[in-house]
Chains A and B, each alone.
Chain A
Amino acid sequence: VSIESEELRRRTVELRRLAEAIERTPLMTLDRDVGPDTWRSPAADDCRAQLSRDQLDLHRAAEDLRWSAYRLEREADELDVLEVLEAAARMVGA
């Protein structure tokens, strides 16, 4: 396993950790506490709408992180395969 692929796998783990942390952050469930039975006014409506947009953006961000992690993982796999092939080629050459 090459140093490059090791680094890519470390980042893969990091991105998945971050995606999970984003989805577990208390903001993602805050909508349960800010319903009209708690607070009702034009400002409350604005805040609920903004919260909803932010939650959507964060879900998308988490999905993007997982997609990036997937691509990095593929890249790391390819580097590993290449490494194996190069090692095999060196052995055949020797």
Chain B
Amino acid sequence: VGAGWVGYHPQRILTLFARAVDAHIGLGRLSSDAPEAADALRAVRAARMHLEDGLLAHVQRIVRSDVLLTPVPAAPLRSVVADDIAELARTVLGGDGDALDELHELVSRHGDDAWAMREVFAELGGRGTADLLATLGSRFDPDDAAALAIAESLRRSLGDVSTMLGVPTPTFADDLIARCVELRAEADVNTAATLSFVLRSGYLSTDLRAGLVGALLDHERASREREDTAWPGGLSMGSVLNLEVPDDDLWMVDDPRYAAMASLAADGDAARAIFTDPSRVDELVSGRTWDDGLRGLLAAGAAASQVPADARPDVQEQAAVAATQLVNRVGGADLLMGHRLDPQAAESAATVLSVHMLAVQATVSLGRGEVSADELDSPELATVPEDSFGRDFRVAIAVFGTTPLAGFTRLAASAESGVATLRAGLSTYQAGRADGTARVLADDPPSNPGEYLDEAMFQSGELEGYFVEHVGHEAERQGRSRDSTMERWIDIGTLSLWRAEDAVDDWGAVEVPFLSETLRPAAAIAKRAWADHEAGAARNAEHNAIAASDRLTYQYYEALVAHGVMEPPSGVSSLPPFEGFEALPMARRIEIWTDLVERFPAAGEVSPNGGVVELSLKTQQLPYYQELD
């Protein structure tokens, strides 16, 4: 083993894992009622927390990784405590309320003992755990502190066990969901609230979380196909399980899908497990309406589409598959028409597009057609060149159909926060693209560097133009929709006027001169304002196109100078980022810009062609102008 060695010994790391778990359990067992022991117990808790968040978490990741083929050793011994807890749980299930305090005491004392609690959950299984939580939620007084404490402690222990030692039994998630469904149908217990309670946990392992959500969606699809209600009747306002839920969110408790989406939003790996399964995404999108303005669905979808830093290639591909499912199914569905969109849904959609901007570029530049239903059911990723990694480097990307991408982009642009997120994502992408292009020109130039640069800038312009059209004009569209509201009001006013006059004629008794004198001039003013607004929209679009192409052209100059492909302007060693350039005094900006734009390229040198960018940008905007005509 040399000095530079980084890694671990496969056998010893397993021993270390087992000893670290023992140490964690050992620290959890230390307690005292002596007041003088308070400081010492604080030190014990701190050490336990450091162990849990540090060494144990790191070693667990190594042990769970695919690199280690040796299975993790089973629990060293069966805990007597586990038997006691499981027995008491069965007593409580039998309706013996007196056992509650005793169970509370045992669970609160040993709830942190992951090995013991694993035995408890293995003994109860998913069905027994559902029974116990449903009983605590429905049979005890809503203010019963012991029932609440046991429920919370069990939920936390389930999270600890599943995270540290794995899901207690292979069918735990399926069994828990199946039992909740049975109890709902047969005993009229509101197990939708029970499931929401479990899914609200912040501690569940990825496997358990994905297992629960997957089984839940499978049940809901089966119910829909039978034309049954998945969670019929019953409200759970008075349950101890709902005490942690703010009043404004109580309506979501009786439909566990909302908690399921929040749960996935907190765990990208679990979200990817669901969003890469075409039938489950279809169930999420087609199966129902969402009363939260799609906030939960899009937050979960955004988590699934995220690519974590240093992600393995298979995780990157899963994120691309998840984005393919989400964008094509949501953007192409009637879902967007039937929902009042929540601003957070717009922000999540913008995050998805920002992360997968290369796939957006591919659709815009390569003119991808539509993605068929069959293609979505067995999605395949596309591969495209990615110059940031070298000229011949290709990466797998999501595949977005033209129409759903447009729908999804409009969703992203439907709120200010979404627009801001998109702008930031697009700027980052464009800077990366310019940098990659400049790097290729510097390190590995193609035979015709001028054409290569023109093509890259043209594609950047196309992408910018696509967003100017869909985002800039989405705002305009909203403006126009305000105007069309005004137009409708004018028409309605005119109509009312006509009817009122008709009515007067019918009655033949009352004169209403104020109608023509007051309403008609108002209508004319409103119509003029509307017409002005359309002209304003066209002016704004022109302005946007020029501003965007200037910015993009500058980004290419900046990258080419940074990589030594172009000489910097006189008096500076490098170009600042665009924001810094904009902050310079006007005279200095003109000086730099003139130096860059009016320079004749030396032999073998390339020069950005701002006209290419503006042309491609405007080409992308043509549909909008045609729409205005």
Contact with A along B32-69 (1 / 0, CB 8 A): 11111101100110110011001100110010000000
Q: B37 is contacted by which of A18, A33, A41 (Cβ under 8 Å)?
A: A18
Instruction: Name A27-49 residues within 8 Å CB distance of B.
Output: 27, 30, 33-34, 37-41, 43-44, 46-47
The dominant DSSP class at the A interface is: helix
Interface contact B13-A11, CB-CB below 8 Å = no
Determine if B22 and A64 form an interchain contact, defined as CB atoms under 8 angstroms apart. Answer: no
Known: A14-B37, A26-B22, A27-B27. A57 touches B43 (CB 8 A): yes
A76 lies within 8 A of chain B by Cβ: no
Residues A47 and B40 in contact, CB atoms below 8 Å apart? no
**Chain A's nearest CB lies how many Å from the CB of B25?**
8
Q: Pick the contact of A26: B8, B19, B59 (CB < 8 A).
A: B19
Contact for B47 among A21, A39, A54, CB less than 8 A:
A54
Question: Chain A residue with minimal CB distance to B62?
Answer: A39
From known contacts A11-B34, A27-B27, A58-B47, infer whether A40 and B40 are also in contact, taking CB-CB under 8 Å: no
Quote the shortest CB–CB distance from A20 to chain B (angstroms). 11
Those of A60-94 within 8 Å (CB) of chain B: 60-62, 64-65, 68-69, 72
Task: Decide: A15 near B36, CB < 8 A? Known: A25-B23, A40-B7, A61-B43.
Answer: yes
Q: Is B37 a contact of A65 with CB atoms below 8 Å?
A: yes
Cβ-closest chain B residue relative to A10: B34
With a cutoff of 8 Å between Cβ atoms, the chain A residues found around residue B5 in the complex are 40
Is the Cβ of A38 less than 8 Å from the Cβ of B8?
yes
Residues of B within 8 A of A17 (CB): 32
Q: With A and B bound together, what is the CA distance between A40 and B32 in angstroms?
A: 37
Query: With a CB–CB cut-off of 8 A, which chain A residues contact B44?
Result: 22, 58, 61
Enumerate chain A residues within 8 angstroms of B39, measured Cβ to Cβ: 61, 64
Asked if B26 and A27 sit within 8 Å, CB to CB, the answer is yes
Q: Name the B residues within 8 Å of A50 (CB-CB).
A: 50, 54-55
Q: Inside 8 A of B22's CB, which chain A residues have their CB?
A: 26
Shortest CB distance B255–A (Å): 41
User: B80: CB under 8 A from chain A?
Assistant: no
Alpha-carbon distance A27/B24, docked complex (angstroms): 8
With A38-B13, A38-B16, A50-B50 as given contacts, are A18 and B43 in contact (CB-CB < 8 Å)? no
Q: Is the CB of A58 within 8 A of B13?
A: no
Complex Cα gap A17–B44 (Å): 15
Whether B6 is near chain A, meaning CB under 8 Å from some CB there, is yes
| Segment 370-402 of B: residues with Cβ below 8 Å from A | none
CB within 8 Å of A: which of B1-17? Answer: 1, 5-9, 12-13, 15-16
Determine how close the nearest CB of chain B comes to the CB of A42; give it in whole angstroms.
Answer: 8
Do the beta carbons of A65 and B47 come within 8 Å of each other?
Answer: no
CB neighbours of A62 from chain B (8 A): 40
In the complex where A27-B27, A38-B9 touch, is A57 in contact with B37 (Cβ < 8 A)? no
Contact A22 B40 (CB under 8 A): yes
A contact residues around B43 at 8 Å (CB): 54, 57-58, 60-61
Question: On chain B, which size bracket covers the interface?
Answer: 35 or more
Given contacts A50-B54, A62-B40, contact A39 B16 (CB under 8 A): yes
Rounded to whole angstroms, the CA-CA distance of A57 and B27 in the bound complex is 13
Q: Which of B6, B12, B34, B47 contacts A57 (CB 8 A)?
A: B47
Task: Name the A residues within 8 Å of B30 (CB-CB).
Answer: 18, 21-22, 25
Residues of B within 8 A of A58 (CB): 43-44, 47
A64 proximity list for chain B (CB < 8 A): 39-40
Residues of B within 8 A of A41 (CB): 6-8
B561 CB within 8 Å of chain A: no
Residue B315 lies at the interface, judged by CB distance under 8 Å to chain A = no
Q: Is B20 an interface residue (CB 8 A)?
A: yes
Give every chain B residue within 8 A of A47 (Cβ-Cβ): 54-55, 58
Chain B residue with the shortest CB-CB distance to A38: B12
Contact yes or no, B16 A57, CB < 8 A = no
Choose among B19, B40, B51, B62 the residue that contacts A54 (Cβ–Cβ < 8 A).
B51
Q: How far, in Å, is A58 (CB) from chain B's closest CB?
A: 6
Report Cα–Cα, A34/B14, bound state, in Å. Answer: 11
Inter-chain contacts of A43 with B (CB < 8 A): 58
Distance to closest chain A CB from B45 (angstroms): 11
Q: Smallest CB–CB gap between A27 and chain B, Å?
A: 4
Q: Which residues of A contact B50 (CB under 8 A)?
A: 50-51, 54
Chain B hits for A61, CB < 8 A: 39-40, 43-44
- The answer to whether A14 and B7 touch (CB under 8 A), given A25-B23, A26-B22, A39-B13, is no
Residues in chain B near residue A69, CB distance under 8 A: 36
- A54 cross-chain contacts in B, Cβ below 8 A: 43, 46-47, 50-51
Q: A39-B9, A40-B5 are in contact. Are A26 and B40 (CB under 8 A)?
A: no
- Whether A14 pairs with B32 at a CB distance below 8 angstroms is yes
Contact B54 A46 (CB under 8 A): yes
B23 x A30 contact (CB < 8 A): yes
* Nearest chain A residue, comparing its CB with the CB of B20: A30
The answer, among B8, B27, B46, for a CB contact under 8 Å with A39, is: B8
> In the bound complex, do residue A57 and residue B46 qualify as a contact, i.e. CB atoms below 8 Å apart?
yes
Extra contacts, 16 of them, besides A44-B8, A57-B47 (Cβ < 8 A), are: A11-B35, A14-B32, A14-B33, A14-B34, A14-B37, A22-B40, A30-B20, A33-B20, A37-B9, A37-B12, A38-B8, A40-B7, A41-B7, A43-B58, A60-B43, A65-B36
Task: Return the 7 tightest CB-CB contacts between A and B, nearest first.
Answer: A54-B47, A61-B40, A27-B23, A38-B12, A47-B55, A26-B23, A68-B36
Sampled A-B contacts (24; CB under 8 Å): A11-B34, A11-B35, A14-B37, A15-B34, A15-B36, A18-B37, A18-B40, A25-B27, A26-B22, A26-B26, A27-B26, A30-B16, A30-B20, A33-B16, A38-B9, A39-B9, A39-B59, A39-B62, A47-B58, A51-B55, A54-B43, A58-B47, A61-B44, A64-B40
